[in-house]
Amino acid sequence: MLRLLIGLVLYGAGCALTIEAGLGVDPWTVFAEGLSRQSGLGIGWVTNLVGLGVLLLWIPLRQRPGVGTIANILLVGTSMQVTLGLIPPAPDHIVAQAALLVGGILVVAVGCGLYIGARFGPGPRDGLMTGMHARFGWPIWACRGGVELSVLLIGWLLGGTVGVGTVVFAVAIGPLVHITLPMFDTARESRSAAPTAAADHGAPVTPVDLTRDA
């Protein structure tokens, strides 16, 4: 549970850093930023409300939320809002902006590794995509691509920031999470512990693929 909570806080903080970099953010943050500009609400609070709205879309998809799903809705946006209040925007200099962007993406990757690896249920956005896949049989990549492209376009039309950071985030986050997830995957740890315990009792040890859930 502690990993889940720390991971979600880091995820929100990392997203806030990418916002303060001013070079563009991930699609869902573009969407939240656009809604924030139009509504006047803080982007973190909007992120929480968007998460709640996405969760309601789970109902026709027959998805069931977990503890991690609810925690995601409550913590990510809150952490984002608090971090935005603590960290000023990057100076209008590309080096400072790039450093904040890269730092934010790295923090998000660590946060993802922690909260996904804790295995307390998917976030509302991931659950939406897996629910669409299960309900309609569409490929995961098509569900993810269609949803994220839609929220990106809507967010941009509402005034969200799209830029090189949006592209860098999209390209980098997958490989980075592929690195961080195995570090914090609780299922991997349990598989690692089982052969060790068996060996201590003289039982034969069967090799285990520790990367299959990454």
Signed CA dihedral, 210, 67, 145, 76: sign only: negative
How crowded is residue 100: how many other Cβ atoms within 10 Å of its Cβ? 23
Over the stretch 50-108, which tens digit does the pLDDT of each residue have?
999 999 999 888 888 889 999 999 999 999 999 999 999 999 899 999 999 999 999 99
Which tokens hold the place of 200?
Answer: 């201590």
Place of tokens 């720390």: 6
Phi first, then psi: what are they for 52, rounded to 5°? -65, -40
Q: Are 111 and 16 within 8 A, CB to CB?
A: no
Which tokens hold the place of 162?
Answer: 């799209």
State pTM to two decimals.
Answer: 0.82
- What is the rounded distance in angstroms from the CA atom of residue 7 to the CA atom of residue 15? 12
- One digit per residue, the tens of pLDDT, for the chain of length 214 reads 899 999 999 999 999 999 999 999 999 999 999 999 999 999 999 999 999 999 999 988 888 888 999 999 999 999 999 999 999 999 989 999 999 999 999 999 999 999 988 888 888 988 898 899 889 998 988 888 999 999 999 999 999 999 999 999 999 998 999 898 888 887 665 554 443 333 344 443 333 333 333 3
